[in-house]
Structure 1
Amino acid sequence: MKARIKWVQDATFVGESGSGHAVVMDGPPEHGGRNLGIRPMEMLLLGMGGCTSFDVINILKKSRQPVRDCFAELYAERAETEPKVFTHIHVHFVITGKGLSEKHVKRAVELSAGKYCSASIMLANGGVEISHDYEVLEPEDE
């Protein structure tokens, strides 16, 4: 896997993935940025959320669960002093589907957290406390 980060100006950078996708990253004005893009630590949090969400959906699909919607809300706490690393991340999944098995959702979340989500596991091995919970909803339109 490769990535390339190009400095644009001030605290603005463009990150390009090995697969050719680009994203703008920028710092807040108090650090010389112009608030033109996502902060690098936000990107890290989004990456972890995307990784675990990908796993959960993949596991549920393989279990033939009727998932209609899924989103994960991530809440992170950072250390007060430099380096301001993440100290705790909580992931709350909201999964919607007609007749979803809560047992399967629980299993998917646990498998992602403990076995498949390389981002979560890497952060946890680095000392970040990671917790998960979920809720299962029935679609409103049926």
Structure 2
Amino acid sequence: MKFHFNHDEGFETEFEFGKLTVSGNEEKGYRPFQLMVSSIAVCSGSVLRKVLEKQRMSVEDLQVEADVTRDPERANRLTHIKLHYVIKGEGLTDKKVAKAVELASKNCPMAQTVIDSVELTETFEIK
């Protein structure tokens, strides 16, 4: 990956899907913390969906809500990310989904990358 400063308060790169602009100013591009949290939330949700389906639970809809805590005393560092999954489907039980969430957490590369420096909490509800 190559990122180029665009002289408009941000960096840009080009991917197969299109151009990505990253900036500390959310009016100029995606903020770095938004991308980090998005990566963790989407990776975790994707792995969870796969685990649920492998365990023969069908997923009709899956939403991931991310609540972020930052520490302004330490360069606004991310300290805690709470992921809350809202799942709709067939064959879902609290016990089965809880086990799937635990298994998915161990297999999400993005979550595992930050697990020693950011507290990650996962909860769920079945619709």
* TM-score in terms of structure 2 length: 0.88
- What corresponds to 2:85 in structure 1? 93
Q: Secondary structure at the match of 1:135?
A: strand
Structure 1: gaps of 5 or more residues: 29-33, 138-142
Q: Check if 1:24 corresponds to 2:21.
A: yes
Conserved 8 A contact 1:55-1:108: no
Q: Check if 1:131 corresponds to 2:106.
A: no
**What do you get for the CA RMSD once the two structures are aligned?**
1.7
Conserved 8 A contact 2:80-2:120: yes
- What corresponds to 2:62 in structure 1? 70
Q: Distance in 2 between matches of 1:15 and 1:88?
A: 28
What is the identity percentage for the equivalent residue pairs of Structure 1 and Structure 2? 28
Conserved 8 A contact 1:47-1:119: yes
Q: How many residues align?
A: 126
Match of 2:126, as an amino acid?
V
Structure 2: gaps of 5 or more residues: none
Give, in angstroms, the shift of residue 82 of structure 1: 4.0
Greater relative CO, 1 or 2 (CA 8 Å, sep 6+): 2
Find 2:99's aligned residue among 107, 118, 121.
Answer: 107
